Structure 1
Amino acid sequence: MNYEKCMQDFLDYIELERNLSPQTLKGYRAELDLTLKYFKSHNLPLDIGEITIQHIRKYLTYVKKERNNSPASLNKKISVLRSFFNFLTNDDSYGIKINPTFRLSQIKKERKLPQILSLEESRKFLLGIKEVSSYPKRDYAIFLMFLHTGCRLTELKELTITSVDLQEKYVRFFGKGSRERIVPLLDQTCEALEEYLKIREPSIETNQLFLNSRGRPISKEIIAKTFKTLAQKTGVYKKGLSVHKLRHTCLTLLLKEGIDLRTLQEIAGHADIATTQIYTHVAQVDLKRQMNKHPLAKKIEDNLITE
């Protein structure tokens, strides 16, 4: 059966039955389109039943060497192709008995620790917003929400007034794959949102919670740009810091305070606890740094007092 027909069947399946987000669907389509273009340009089989693991390995070698794909990008391609062929293998109508991606292994990659703000820097940043922001009540509520709930940029941007319950003190997020989760709100966050709602003035009819300076739904780009400006003005900006790192900051600070990984996974909205475990590495780096302050860290001989 033709690759393009199978690809469209798969995309219809993940959109309708798995209910993946438009952004995720777009990513799957782009990966499968790239594979198709490579197969066409290199005269490889376009009949889905003739594709072997050797063909797929040639493609992965190509994107690694010619397109300089990182291990993370290669693993994404492997994951998409594996899902695609799993779908085809599980349906007898496609006539595929052996999944050609079955023996493909994920590529090991170095796990980089995320850039974060310290507790002191987080406090300095939040306090400084009220002094340097052109829209202090809105910006304070936005960045307090990031640091208190660990939400993603897209999740915050898409928040509606009805997704926040200030009486019961919780917020309802819709994360990756449209997965819903409820995160409790702290009193301080509720107060900040109440103050913002008092001055919120939409110029069009919209239920979106956070608005730009023209009273329209705020964009991710504006939030990111505002964060960088405020981080610079408050003196906490450093190379590699972005608004997404506020999520990492929140989750790391919670872990340091003793929250267990399963609870942290629920707050973060991670589908796999392995994703959450990277924060343990961040906490351990801080732990090692603190251990260097141990009174017996120096050589014992250096601390002896001679009589």
Structure 2
Amino acid sequence: MDAFLEMMAVEHDASRHTIDAYRRDLVCFADVCRGRGVDPEKAGEADLSAFLKAMAARGEAKTTQNRRLSAVRRFLRFLYAEGARADDPGSLVDGPKRPKALPKILSIEEVRGLLVAAEEAAQAGGAGPTRLAALLELLYAGGLRVSELVSLPESAVANRREVMMVKGKGGRERMVPLTEAAHLAVERYRAARGPSPNRFLFPARSREGHLTRQAFARDLKGLAAAAGLPSAKVSPHVLRHAFATHLLVNGADLRVVQTLLGHQDIATTEIYTHVQADHLVAVLNDCHPLA
């Protein structure tokens, strides 16, 4: 297992969070195998099926079951490629089917309400509110992943540049436009924060040296309450979804949205076309005189 995780880190540039998730999934699989008296490295098709049944019996969501099964398949494929076993049984077992869920989004008015609430708090002063306003402006301006946002280097936003370089999954870099509002929010935050103690735009006393995803998500839910929105409805990822959907609703090309989001496969971006269709149907039903 350690050799597999090391390979994922070195050859696939997997993050620490990804490695930790793989480790948990493989430990879960190993526990089921040992309960059946089987070495996890010698597990076969029947053991994979038993793993799925065990997860279902625990009431784990189908998304969790499929994620764990994917990790185990990758591990067994690694063993096969390394000559540690003579077969690869992972391809013989299918995960549970699940309907493709549409992403949760916020309306343009709801996002505007969040931005107004953040601006009002930031105008009162203080590093905390100005930081949250800057984070929100950057997130909605570029549709960043939360991990990309909180780990932005200090140099990412500088000299009034119209774009910034963002390092995404697999170390791939992409250009993300910066709005005037985002520039102004970052300038105000920097003035309230003072010089950064390290290389990050949003430094914090964490193991990574920057603001954590959990801390930002918590602050965002507090802002949602201030804006009169249900806290459960708002998260960093929901704002990323809103960014993509609002662009498509307003006529953006799907390939452009794919580039901005940093999706390697356009099939991942196509989910937003379904959300866009739902929006158009809702508008038609609300506005058409014969609806």
- Tell me the TM-score normalized by structure 1: 0.83
Q: CA deviation at 1:151?
A: 0.9
Verify: 1:64 aligned to 2:53, yes or no: no
Residue type at the aligned position of 1:33 = V
Q: What residue in structure 2 maps to residue 193 of structure 1?
A: 186
Counterparts of 1:245 and 1:115, CA distance in 2: 6
Render the CA deviation track for 1:239-270: whole Å, top value 9, x for unaligned.
43223211111111112122222222221122
Q: What residue in structure 2 maps to residue 181 of structure 1?
A: 174
Q: What residue in structure 2 maps to residue 55 of structure 1?
A: 47
For 1:70-219, list aligned pairs within 5 A.
Answer: 70-91=61-82, 93-96=83-86, 98-133=87-122, 135=126, 136-202=129-195, 205-211=197-203, 217-219=210-212
In structure 1, runs of 5+ residues without a counterpart are 1-6, 299-307
Verify: 1:29 aligned to 2:18, yes or no: no
Residue type at the aligned position of 1:232 = A
For 1:285-296, list aligned pairs within 5 A.
Answer: 285-293=278-286, 295-296=288-289
Q: Number of aligned residue pairs: give it.
A: 284
Verify: 1:255 aligned to 2:244, yes or no: no
Q: CA deviation at 1:185?
A: 1.3
In structure 2, runs of 5+ residues without a counterpart are none
Residue type at the aligned position of 1:244 = H
The Cα RMSD (Å) is 2.4
Deviates more, 1:247-256 or 1:177-186: 177-186
Q: Equivalent pairs: percent with the same residue? A: 30
DSSP-derived class of the 1:285 partner: helix
CA contact (8 A) 1:160 1:207 kept: yes
Please identify which structure carries the higher helix content.
2
Counterparts of 1:217 and 1:294, CA distance in 2: 47
Counterparts of 2:233 and 2:270, CA distance in 1: 21
Counterparts of 1:239 and 1:88, CA distance in 2: 42
Q: CA deviation at 1:78?
A: 1.9
Render the CA deviation track for 1:31-74: whole Å, top value 9, x for unaligned.
1111112111221244x3x4221111111111111x21111111
Counterparts of 2:120 and 2:233, CA distance in 1: 24
Larger Rg: 1
Q: What residue in structure 1 maps to residue 36 of structure 2?
A: 42
For 1:227-266, list aligned pairs within 5 A.
Answer: 227-237=220-230, 239-266=232-259
Counterparts of 1:253 and 1:151, CA distance in 2: 14
DSSP-derived class of the 2:90 partner: coil
